[in-house]
């Protein structure tokens, strides 16, 4: 059998607590009239507070630095996802082309089949017409890449876009307005440089928002080269309503983004005419 411990950890805790209490009481009785001790203790408390404040500031700095790194990693990840989506779109286009070639081959086969049937088997015109109709039905049931894109782009109704704009941040609304101007003027742009010039400290947020609405299907863009891209599609309801939303916002507060965007558009167009 295990022998029972004479002194347990619980007993040590009680003895330590009692010793500290007795020490504090004796020190209070001994030095309660010594104001120097009190001032020294107050000074020590102040010094400890200052040290803790400095530690807190340093800790906040490192936390902010860590958050910034994580944010950049998330943005890079979202851009990689966007490039992956673009590659999938190109694959879809290739599939649509192959599908179109298949339909052409079917047409050619149909014509040769008609000729062979007329020459060798002497089928009636009604039978040939029936075969042709079946092949035409097959062709009409093929969904092209253009149809797929149209279905994706038209899935948002006007009231849904209006609700989206009403619940979107100021930066988000002006970013949609910026995209609209680039689309209407067919301007090629570097998203990082443009967003930094217009939105300054909020450029990282604008970049993430751009990737988000592009993923949702409100717009689509194609890369011209490694950095520059061009808006190929933008939801018609979004183009129609964003101007009205900005007019309503600017009656309540004086925002500078619209003027900065218009000045940027004018600058780019002037440089392109040189």
Q: Which residue has the tokens 């030095």?
A: 31
CA distance 218 to 80: 19
Helix, strand, coil share of the chain (percent; to 5):
80, 5, 15
The two tokens of residue 229 are 């891209």
Q: Which residues pair with 188 in a beta bridge?
A: 230
Pick the range with the lowest mean pLDDT from 22-31, 73-82, 173-182, 258-267: 22-31
pLDDT above 90 as % of the chain: 14
pLDDT of residue 175: 92
| Statement to judge: residues 182 and 268 lie in one domain | yes
Give Cβ neighbours of residue 180 (< 8 Å, ≥ 6 apart). Answer: 234, 238, 239, 242, 243
Question: Does 52 have pLDDT greater than 90?
Answer: no
Q: Enter the DSSP assignment of 270.
A: H
Determine the pLDDT at residue 141. Answer: 46
The answer to whether residue 107 scores a pLDDT higher than 90 is no
- Same domain? For 171 and 267 the reply is yes
Q: Is the pLDDT of residue 252 over 90?
A: no
Is residue 165 located within the same domain as residue 132? no
Mark whether 101 and 183 lie in a shared domain. no
Do 213 and 168 form a contact (C-beta atoms < 8 A)? no
Burial class for 175, CB neighbours closer than 10 Å (0-12, 13-18, 19+): buried
The pLDDT-based confidence of 68 (bands split at 50, 70, 90) is confident
CA pseudo-torsion sign 170, 175, 181, 184: negative
List the domain range (segments joined by +) for residue 212: 154-273
pLDDT at 146: 44
Residue with more model confidence, 6 or 76:
76
Whether pTM exceeds 0.75:
no
The answer to whether residue 240 is domain-embedded is: yes
Residue 174's pLDDT is what?
93
Give the CA radius of gyration of the chain.
Answer: 36
Nearest to 107 by CA among 143, 126, 131: 131
Cα-to-chain-centroid distance, residue 207: 7
Residue 21 covered by a domain: no
pLDDT tens across 217-230, in order?
A: 889 998 888 889 99
204 and 225 co-located in one domain:
yes
Q: Which helix (H) or strand (E) holds 175?
A: helix 170-185
CA distance 22 to 18: 6
Q: For residue 194, what are the contacts with CB-CB under 8 A and spacing of at least 6?
A: 178, 264
Residue 227 within a domain: yes
More confident call, 266 vs 43 = 266
**Do 189 and 256 reside in the same domain of the chain?**
yes
Residues 5-46 pLDDT 10s: 677 878 888 888 888 888 778 777 766 666 666 676 777 778
Same domain, 190 and 223: yes
Q: Work out how many domains the chain is built from and give that number.
A: 2
Same domain, yes or no, for 188 and 235?
A: yes
Is 82 contained in some domain?
no
Give yes or no: residues 245 and 160 share one domain.
Answer: yes
| Residue 270, burial from CB neighbour count under 10 angstroms (0-12, 13-18, 19+) | exposed
Per-residue pLDDT, 147: 44
Q: Is residue 15 included in any domain, yes or no?
A: no
Q: What local confidence, expressed as pLDDT, does residue 204 receive?
A: 92
Q: Is residue 51 part of a domain?
A: no
Q: Are residues 159 and 268 in the same domain?
A: yes
- 172-199: average pLDDT: 91
Is residue 4 helix, strand or coil?
A: coil
């Amino acid at each position: 059998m295990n022998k029972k411990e004479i002194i347990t950890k619980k007993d040590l805790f009680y003895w330590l607590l009692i010793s500290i209490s007795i020490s504090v009481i004796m020190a209070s009785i001994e030095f309660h009239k010594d104001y120097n001790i009190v001032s020294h203790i107050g000074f020590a408390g102040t010094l400890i507070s200052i040290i803790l404040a400095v530690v807190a500031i340093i800790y906040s700095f490192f936390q902010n630095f860590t958050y910034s790194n994580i944010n950049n990693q998330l943005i890079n990840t979202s851009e990689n996802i966007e490039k992956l989506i673009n590659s999938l779109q190109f694959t879809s286009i290739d599939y649509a082309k192959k599908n179109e070639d298949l339909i052409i081959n079917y047409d050619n086969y149909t014509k040769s089949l008609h000729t062979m049937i007329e020459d060798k088997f002497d089928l009636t015109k009604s039978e040939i017409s029936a075969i042709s109709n079946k092949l035409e039905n097959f062709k009409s049931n093929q969904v092209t890449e253009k149809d797929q894109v149209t279905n994706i782009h038209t899935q948002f109704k006007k009231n849904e876009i209006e609700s989206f704009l009403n619940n979107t941040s100021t930066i988000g609304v002006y970013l949609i307005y910026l995209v609209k101007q680039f689309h209407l003027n067919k301007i090629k742009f570097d998203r990082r440089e443009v967003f930094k010039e217009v939105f300054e400290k909020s450029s990282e947020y604008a970049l993430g928002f751009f990737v988000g609405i592009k993923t949702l299907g409100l717009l689509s863009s194609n890369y011209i080269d490694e950095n520059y891209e061009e808006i190929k599609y933008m939801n018609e309801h979004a183009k129609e309503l964003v101007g009205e939303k900005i007019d309503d916002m600017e009656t309540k507060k004086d925002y500078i983004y619209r003027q900065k965007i218009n000045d940027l558009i004018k600058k780019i167009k002037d440089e392109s005419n040189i």
